[in-house]
């Protein structure tokens, strides 16, 4: 595993990002930018912190999800609906490059903090607006969560067993995909700013990025009038492709997207004659014979341990992967070689493990400088940087603005 230390400037050092978003796409986009060195300032309501601070598992009353989602962020409080909070936010936006928010469309405008007001103070500002359904259209003011995006994008309809119900993921898939799209869009807007000198508004609808990841379902409907059926762990495009149980009660996944891999698998499991069948030459045709192929592959795997299966597939240059849980991931030598898992010292929990930045750069690797900080931990320091005197900060705190 990698022990994260602050080695100095990251690739985005010098970039200031204001994270005024909650649950989960916006905060995760800000986390990605922070991992690359941006100075991220997390703005939360003084009395209503980001709900992710109480989301999911906890240890001794300390939330674990926030330790990851809040990493590399300085935390301040401001009630944006108050005059004092508006003053703080405008001052922060004036000295920042990016603001990420996910209030319902129209909320910032109601507070006098829309892009007209923000860009008047800082024409170079990029405002990233993350919402369930975007800033326009009949659904724009609906509450928007990743679950709804997973339902309306087509993901749930194509996921699950053929005779079962549409299936939702047990984690924030749509939020995670939208966070990547938002971070990418922010960097595009910043690149454009270098040419024009002006910022702009990014409009991310959580329902759209996951839709874009689901393949040609729209084109298929347009051209063929059909929708992708639910196939469980199988694929409609190739076979064998499934999860298979080993003799020691473990599981592996097999993929044969390439024809050469499919042929190697069948030779490995002792059924080379199937390669000569007319239907074996195309993945979509093999998928029509998934029962026969799964019986051959699954039967062979069921007589061997997971380690034996993985070793045999590797020797045959066929595609297989053990199905891991978190324990397996931490112990895996490939993840260790990549430095995927980072060990961070946390002031509340001591050393803890978490997944690191998404990728490596040859010049400026991402780094986890610190875990998620306490609610409002950096309010005084950040407001001091913005020119607020200790007396003014005390007055804002007394009136409930911070």
CATH number of the domain to which 117 belongs: 3.40.50.10540
Backbone angles phi, psi at 25, to 5 degrees: -65, -50
Q: Which of 24, 176, 182, 6 is nearest to 98 (CA)?
A: 182
Percentage of the chain beyond pLDDT 70 is 98
CA atoms within 13 A on the CB side of 289: 16
Return the bridge partners of 353, or none: 343
**Residue 302 shares a structural domain with residue 340:** no
For 230, which DSSP code? P
Q: Which of 130, 125, 69 is nearest to 97 (CA)?
A: 125
Residue 304 inside a domain? The answer is yes
Burial of 194 (0-12, 13-18, 19+ CB in 10 A): exposed
**Residue 283 shares a structural domain with residue 168:** no
**Residue 182 shares a structural domain with residue 34:** yes
Residue 382 inside a domain? The answer is yes
Q: pLDDT digits over 269-280, tens only? A: 999 999 999 999
Contact predicate 100/131, CB 8 Å: no
CATH number for the domain that contains residue 309: 3.30.1540
Q: Is the pLDDT of residue 9 over 80?
A: no
Name 100's Cβ contacts closer than 8 Å, sequence gap at least 6: 17, 18, 19, 20, 21, 26, 27, 29, 30, 128, 130, 182, 186
**Residue 382 shares a structural domain with residue 311:** no
**Residue 372 shares a structural domain with residue 287:** no
Residue 115 inside a domain? The answer is yes
Q: How far apart are CA 213 and CA 219, in angstroms?
A: 13
- Domain stop point among 294, 322, 350: 322
**Residue 78 shares a structural domain with residue 166:** yes
Q: Which of 126, 142, 124 is nearest to 134 (CA)?
A: 142
Q: Is the pLDDT of residue 6 over 50?
A: no
**Residue 315 shares a structural domain with residue 353:** no
How far out from the chain centre does Cα 155 lie? Answer: 16
Q: Which of 130, 146, 10 is nearest to 72 (CA)?
A: 10
Q: pLDDT digits over 346-372, tens only? A: 999 999 999 999 999 998 889 999 999
Tell me the pTM: 0.94
Which domain, by its residues, includes 291? 241-245+251-322
Residue 222 inside a domain? The answer is no
- Domain stop point among 295, 322, 349: 322
Q: How far apart are CA 36 and CA 146, in angstroms?
A: 25
Token pair 């999911």 in the structure block, residue: 56
Query: Quick check: helix, strand or coil at residue 80?
Result: coil
For 105, which DSSP code? T
**Residue 164 shares a structural domain with residue 47:** yes
Q: What are the start-end ranges of the H helices in 230-281? A: 259-268
Residue 344 inside a domain? The answer is yes
**Residue 11 shares a structural domain with residue 159:** yes
Q: pLDDT digits over 216-226, tens only? A: 999 999 999 99
Q: pLDDT digits over 45-76, tens only? A: 999 999 999 999 999 999 999 999 999 999 99
Residue 225 inside a domain? The answer is no
**Residue 103 shares a structural domain with residue 184:** yes
Contact predicate 222/159, CB 8 Å: no
By annotation, the residues acting in catalysis are: 175
CA atoms within 13 A on the CB side of 296: 20
Query: Quick check: helix, strand or coil at residue 90?
Result: helix
Residue 219 inside a domain? The answer is no
**Residue 347 shares a structural domain with residue 307:** no
pLDDT-derived band at 213, boundaries 50, 70, 90:
very high
């Amino acid at each position: 595993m990698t022990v994260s230390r602050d080695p100095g400037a990251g690739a985005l050092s010098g970039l200031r990002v204001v994270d005024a978003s909650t649950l989960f796409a916006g905060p995760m986009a800000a986390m990605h930018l922070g991992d690359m060195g941006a100075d991220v300032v997390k703005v939360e309501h003084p009395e209503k912190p980001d709900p992710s601070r109480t989301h999911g598992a906890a240890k001794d009353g300390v939330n674990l999800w926030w330790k990851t989602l809040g990493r590399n962020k300085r935390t301040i409080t401001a009630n944006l609906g108050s005059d004092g909070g508006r003053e703080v936010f405008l001052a922060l936006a004036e000295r920042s490059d990016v603001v990420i928010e996910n209030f319902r469309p129209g909320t910032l405008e109601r507070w006098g903090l829309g892009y007209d007001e923000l860009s008047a103070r800082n024409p170079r500002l990029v405002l990233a607006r993350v919402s369930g359904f975007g800033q326009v259209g009949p659904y724009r003011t609906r509450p928007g969560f990743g679950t709804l995006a997973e339902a309306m994008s087509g993901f749930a309809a194509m996921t699950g067993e053929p005779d079962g119900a549409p299936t939702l993921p047990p984690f924030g898939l749509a939020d995670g995909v939208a966070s990547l799209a938002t971070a990418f869009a922010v960097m595009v807007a910043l690149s454009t700013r270098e040419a024009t000198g002006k910022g702009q508004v990014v409009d991310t609808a959580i329902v759209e990025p996951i839709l874009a990841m689901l393949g040609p379902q729209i084109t298929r409907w347009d051209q063929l009038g059909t929708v992708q059926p639910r196939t469980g762990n199988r694929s409609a495009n190739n076979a064998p492709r499934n999860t298979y149980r080993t003799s020691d009660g473990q599981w592996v996944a097999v993929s044969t997207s390439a024809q050469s891999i499919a042929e190697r698998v069948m030779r490995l499991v002792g059924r080379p004659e199937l390669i000569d069948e007319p239907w074996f030459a195309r993945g979509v045709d093999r998928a029509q014979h998934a029962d026969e192929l799964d019986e051959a592959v699954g039967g062979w795997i069921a007589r061997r341990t997971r380690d034996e299966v993985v070793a045999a597939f590797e020797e045959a240059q066929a595609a297989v992967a053990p199905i891991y849980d978190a324990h397996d991931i931490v112990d895996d030598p490939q993840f260790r070689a990549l430095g995927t898992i980072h060990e961070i010292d946390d002031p509340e929990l001591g050393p803890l493990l978490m997944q690191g930045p998404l990728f490596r750069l040859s010049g400026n690797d991402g780094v986890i400088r610190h875990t998620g900080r306490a609610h409002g931990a950096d309010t005084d320091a950040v407001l001091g940087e913005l020119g607020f005197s200790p007396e003014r900060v005390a007055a804002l705190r007394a009136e409930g603005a911070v």
